[in-house]
Amino acid sequence: MNKAWWKEAVVYQIYPRSFYDSNGDGIGDLRGIIQKLDYLKELGIDVVWLCPVYKSPNDDNGYDISNYQDIMDEFGTLADWEELLAEMHKRGIKLVMDLVVNHSSDEHRWFEESRKSKDNPYRDYYVWRPGKDGREPNNWRSFFGGSAWQYDEQTGEYYLHLFTKKQPDLNWENPKVREEIYKMMDWWLQKGIDGFRMDVVNMLSKVPGLPDAPVLTRDRYQFGSQLYINGPRLMEFLTEMKQKVLSRYDILTVGETPLVTTQDAVMIANEETGVLKMVFQFEHMDLSAETGAEVGTVKPRKLSGLKDVMTRWQKGLENRAWNSIYLGNHDQPRSVSQFGEDSRYRVESAKLLATFIHMLQGTPYVYQGDEIGMTNVAFESIQDYRDVATLNLYKEAVEEKGVDPQAALKVIHAKSRDNARTPIQWDASGQAGFTKGTPWIKVNPNYKEINVSAALADPDSIFHYYKKLIQLRKENPVIVYGTYDLILDSHEEIYAFTRTLDRERLVVILNFSRNSPMFYLPENISFSSAELLIGNYNVHPSEDLRGTMLLPYEARVYRLR
C-alpha cells in the first residue's frame, strides 16, 4: 500500500459559525479560529476541514454560495482568511476548504443573470425546464422537503434545486460551468490550501431527460436518488477535474458521497487510478437514522449492524482505496448521543468512540466539540432551532401532515442537524465563553459541566484521551497502515478487531454497552505478551485476554508480541 501524508493525518472539522466569536456579534468568525489555533495544536490534529466561509446569504449556513472567491461578511475578510492560512501553516496544520459546486446560491451573479431571460449567456449555467401539464417538470423531491423545482415568473420556467430553492443546481453538462469551477478551484489552490472536501459531489451528473422518480410513497414528490446520484457522467466530470486541476497538487480530497457502495468508492478513490483520495460514505450513519421527511421514531441500532457495515468497508477498500472514518459532522446528531450514552456514561462512551475512529483503517475526522464530549441538545420550542432542514421538516410534519408538535420535536431532539451546531463550549462563563454577545443559536445548557477549560484542566478528560490517541497514531504505523480483521463476529456488546502490519499486531477491544461482558481472545491469535497502549479505565478487573471482564463502555488497545 502506498504511503501518504493524508493517510497518516487526523482531520478536525470546523463549523465556523459555532466555533469562536471574536467580535461579539454572536457568530463565530475567522479571527476567532485564529485565536484558538494553539488549542488545536495542543490537541495534535494535522488538518482542518473548514466548512464554507464564502460569501453567502446563509439560507443553508454557507452551503449556498453567492461568491466563491470572497469571504462571508460575518466571518471576516479575505485578509483574515490569508492570515488564518499563514497561522495554520506556521503551526504545521494544513487547511482543507469546503467545495460546494453541485449548486450555488440564487444570489450568485451567474444565477441572477441566468434567470433574466431564456437567451441570457448564463441561462445554461443552471438546469431550467418548462413545466409539464401545468406542474413541475418531474416529481423529484428536494432533500429539504417539497418539490425540487421552483417556478420562476420572469421566464415562465422552473429551475432545479436538490436542496433549498435558494440553492439552484449548477448545470455540469455545460463545459463553461466546469471551466469556471476549475478556475476557481485553482485560484484557491494557488493560495496554498491543502485540499478540498467536496459537497454532495456524486450528484453532479443527472440522468438525461430528467425522468420521474419511481413512486414509492403516497407523497406528491419522490426521492429520485438513482437519477442523480453516481449519474452517467460523474466519473467523466471528476476525471476532467483531476486532469485539469487536482493532479497538479499534492492535496487531500474527500468527496461527500451519499449512497455510495464500496465498489463506487474503489472506483472514485482508487489507490492507483482514483479521482479523489477518499469519500465519506453514510451507511453506518443511516443505521440509526430515520432520515428524510418522514417523522417517525429513531430506530435502535444493533452492534452487529455497525460491525457488518464497517467491516465491509474496511475489507472492501483494503489495498484498493482509502477510508475516511467519522461518527459525526455538522449534519448529524452528536456522536456520543447517537452511538454512545450521553448521560451516565458520557465520558466513557465518548472515549470508546474516539478509540474506535482512531483505530480503524482510514483517516479519522474529528468533529469540533467531540473532543470534549459535547452532546445533543433538546430545545423546548421550535423557535430555538435554526437549521433550514429542521424547520422545513417541522413545518411539513405539523402543518401539512397534522403530526403532533411534541412528537415532531421528539424526532428533532434526536436527529436535528442543530444538535451538532450549538456553540463550542469554551468555559463555564456566560454563553459558554463562545461570544460576548447573543449567540446565533442557543448554547447547550450543559456547558457548565462540559467545556474546554474543564477538559484541559483534567488529565483524565476526553480531550486528553484524544490527544493520546492522536499521538499513538503518529508513533505506530500499524495504526495507520495495518490490516483490519474482525474477531467475535456476532457478539452484540463487544466490537473487537485486530490490526496487523508485518510482525506488529494490535487488538482493539470495545465494549459498546453499559453491561460487563466477558472478553475472550480467540485461541488462534497467539501472543506471548500483551502491552496496554491505551484504555479508558485506569483500573482493570483483569488483563488476561483469554478471559477478562469489561467495564461499561470500556475500550482497550493492546500490542501483542
- Catalytic residue numbers read 199, 256
Q: Is 359 helix (H, G, I), strand (E, B) or coil?
A: helix
Please state, in angstroms and rounded to a whole number, the distance separating the CA atoms of residues 554 and 341.
12
The distance of closest approach from Cβ of residue 331 to ligand NOJ in the complex, given in angstroms and rounded to an integer, is 5
248, burial (CB in 10 Å: exposed 0-12, middle 13-18, buried 19+): exposed
Please state, in angstroms and rounded to a whole number, the distance separating the CA atoms of residues 401 and 87.
51
The distance of closest approach from Cβ of residue 546 to ligand NOJ in the complex, given in angstroms and rounded to an integer, is 45
Q: Considering beta carbons, is residue 63 or 172 the nearer one to ligand NOJ?
A: 63
215, burial (CB in 10 Å: exposed 0-12, middle 13-18, buried 19+): exposed
Q: Considering beta carbons, is residue 255 or 423 the nearer one to ligand NOJ?
A: 255
Give the Cβ contact number of residue 145 at 10 Å.
21
| Number of alpha helices (DSSP H) and beta strands (DSSP E) in the chain | 16, 20
CB distance 273 to 235 below 8 Å: no
> Going edge to edge, which strands form the sheet with 530-535?
483-487, 494-501, 504-511, 555-560, 530-535
| Cell numbers given for 432 | 459558554
The distance of closest approach from Cβ of residue 430 to ligand NOJ in the complex, given in angstroms and rounded to an integer, is 29
Please state, in angstroms and rounded to a whole number, the distance separating the CA atoms of residues 276 and 181.
16
| CB-closest chain residue to ligand NOJ | 63
Per-residue CA distances from 558 to 311, 391, 493, 505, 555 (Å)? 20, 46, 19, 8, 10
Alpha-helical regions (H) of 68-191: 78-90, 109-114, 175-190
CB distance 240 to 204 below 8 Å: no
The distance of closest approach from Cβ of residue 97 to ligand NOJ in the complex, given in angstroms and rounded to an integer, is 14
Q: Considering beta carbons, is residue 164 or 451 the nearer one to ligand NOJ?
A: 164
The distance of closest approach from Cβ of residue 330 to ligand NOJ in the complex, given in angstroms and rounded to an integer, is 6
Sign of the alpha-carbon torsion through 338, 342, 343, 348: positive
Which positions touch ligand NOJ (CB under 6 A)?
Answer: 60, 63, 100, 163, 199-200, 256, 330-331
The distance of closest approach from Cβ of residue 63 to ligand NOJ in the complex, given in angstroms and rounded to an integer, is 3
Q: Considering beta carbons, is residue 96 or 100 the nearer one to ligand NOJ?
A: 100
Q: Is 534 helix (H, G, I), strand (E, B) or coil?
A: strand
Per-residue CA distances from 36 to 6, 51, 76, 464 (Å)? 23, 16, 16, 17
Please state, in angstroms and rounded to a whole number, the distance separating the CA atoms of residues 283 and 273.
24
Q: Considering beta carbons, is residue 100 or 227 the nearer one to ligand NOJ?
A: 100
| Cell numbers given for 474 | 503518529
The distance of closest approach from Cβ of residue 421 to ligand NOJ in the complex, given in angstroms and rounded to an integer, is 10
The distance of closest approach from Cβ of residue 280 to ligand NOJ in the complex, given in angstroms and rounded to an integer, is 9
Rounded to the nearest 5°, which phi and psi values hold at 478? -60, -30
96, burial (CB in 10 Å: exposed 0-12, middle 13-18, buried 19+): buried
The distance of closest approach from Cβ of residue 200 to ligand NOJ in the complex, given in angstroms and rounded to an integer, is 5
Q: Considering beta carbons, is residue 200 or 452 the nearer one to ligand NOJ?
A: 200
Q: Considering beta carbons, is residue 46 or 199 the nearer one to ligand NOJ?
A: 199
Please state, in angstroms and rounded to a whole number, the distance separating the CA atoms of residues 359 and 356.
5
β-strands 483-487, 494-501 pairing: antiparallel
Please state, in angstroms and rounded to a whole number, the distance separating the CA atoms of residues 161 and 260.
21
The distance of closest approach from Cβ of residue 149 to ligand NOJ in the complex, given in angstroms and rounded to an integer, is 17
Q: Considering beta carbons, is residue 234 or 555 the nearer one to ligand NOJ?
A: 234
